[in-house]
Amino acid sequence: MVKTSKSSLARAIEKIYNIPPKPLDVKRILVLSDLHLLHKRVPTWHLVNVTKTLIIKCGNTLDAIYIAGDAFEDSRQLRQTDSQEAMGFLTWLLYYCKANGIALRIVEGTPSHDHGQSKIIEELNESIGADALYLDGIGIFYDSAIQATVGWVQDEYKDRIAANTEAEMAELMATRGLEKVDFFFMHGCFTFQLPVESPRSFNESFWIPRTRLGIYIGHDHREKINDLIRVTGSVDRLSHGEEEDKGMTLVDFTPTLARNYFLVNTEACPQCSVAASLDHEAQYAKCLAALEYIDTHVSSAIGRFKVEYYRDSPIEEHINRWKREYPFHIEGVRINTDEEEKALEAVFSTETIADERIGPDNVEAVMLNGLEGQQYDLEIVSDIIRSIA
């Protein structure tokens, strides 16, 4: 694996909220990924609107739009409103690209999400005539719209073994006499993105030396950067724990140099979560701050708030009240304390339980008998057993 300094791993690109002037003799690409149309929690109408807003901001300065996989989250019947909105967006996008002289390229993403659905642009485009390509599998082509050589890789290609995909890409490049391509647009993960090694992860030491200007990869919803690799992140906040900015990547480039900007989606779905705490006053204060943030957000109507709490916490009563007071989604999740988790672990690891016939009348006695000789809080353990028995 390519050894990368901490400074390059942490290096951030410039965040922008408006589009800078396009310099002369420069090509411009808008790169996005993980749009996840038909998402189960964040509505498609919202994803469509914020994506349109960011694309329209770019006006006629773009030479191409690259979607690096997972345009779709799921597969649904066209009779559903979400599906109709998704098809309407792709039709709009094709017309917009044609009217503004923008090429559109969509890379197939993860099979469990995209399901090959992005291929529909080929059918939609027959009556529109935009410069549009659907890119599945892996391949290399000269993109005349941006005057650059482009390689692409979909997620989970063939046997899902990254080394085999890399060997095939090396052969493709050798066949064309290429030592480098200008750009790679991919879907999946590199080794630096994951805490453990996986045969499915792409190896930086293969791809970076074969790239002249940049590698843009989707799948990981949180943006990252490593040398020439730009993990684009999702366009919007699709789950809790992603409270950072979301958006798209704007790329200005010449034959020898590329500059990346992070175009921020200021309307991204506000999603906040507050962890359980034994300090109820501190947790309550955090909850109030999160509620105010969502309630005053431009996209508050689709906001999501999740609160974890321990047994007998006063927060549970507040959650029920907040659900009545606020229009957005609020969820309370009761979790066990460390003491309760240890008690459960002790209960379910006891071998004597397996030797007795357990029924509704004796389940508590059998489990407590299995804890003989161990220290525990009888009331807590009994409550846990009754709640799951």
Q: Per-block average pLDDT, block size 10, for the chain (389 residues)?
A: 38 87 95 89 91 95 93 78 88 96 92 80 92 94 97 89 94 96 95 86 95 95 94 92 92 96 96 94 96 96 95 93 95 88 71 51 60 53 52
Give the model's pLDDT for residue 379: 52
Q: CA-CA distances (angstroms) from residue 293 to 97, 242, 288, 331, 332?
A: 36, 15, 9, 16, 18
The angle, 0 to 180 degrees and rounded to 10, between the axes of the packed helices 363-370 and 378-388 is 140
Can you give the pTM of this predicted structure?
0.78
Yes or no: say if 58 and 30 are a contact pair by the CB < 8 Å rule. yes
Structure tokens at 16: 């922008």
Q: How far apart are CA 263 and CA 261, in angstroms?
A: 6
Give the model's pLDDT for residue 145: 96
Give the model's pLDDT for residue 41: 86
- For residue 333, count other CB atoms closer than 10 A to its CB: 11
Sign of CA dihedral 345, 351, 354, 358: negative
Residue among 35, 210, 165, 55 nearest 109 (CA): 35
- For residue 328, count other CB atoms closer than 10 A to its CB: 20
Q: How far apart are CA 121 and CA 24, in angstroms?
A: 31
Yes or no: say if 102 and 56 are a contact pair by the CB < 8 Å rule. no
Angle (nearest 5°) at CA 102 between 224 and 30: 10
Q: CA-CA distances (angstroms) from residue 97 to 63, 66, 67, 101, 119?
A: 9, 12, 13, 6, 17
Q: How far apart are CA 98 and CA 313, in angstroms?
A: 58
- pLDDT digit string, tens, across residues 48-95: 999 999 999 999 999 999 999 888 887 777 678 888 888 899 999 999
Give residue 170's identity as a one-letter amino acid code.
A
Q: How far apart are CA 252 and CA 258, in angstroms?
A: 6
Sheet hosting strand 181-187, strand order edge to edge: 138-143, 148-153, 181-187, 211-218, 229-231, 224-226
As to burial, measured by CB atoms within 10 angstroms (0-12 exposed, 13-18 middle, 19+ buried), residue 325 is exposed
Yes or no: say if 196 and 223 are a contact pair by the CB < 8 Å rule. no
Give the model's pLDDT for residue 8: 39
Give the model's pLDDT for residue 204: 95
Give the model's pLDDT for residue 72: 85
- For residue 103, count other CB atoms closer than 10 A to its CB: 20
Q: How far apart are CA 156 and CA 164, in angstroms?
A: 11
Angle (nearest 5°) at CA 248 between 245 and 251: 130
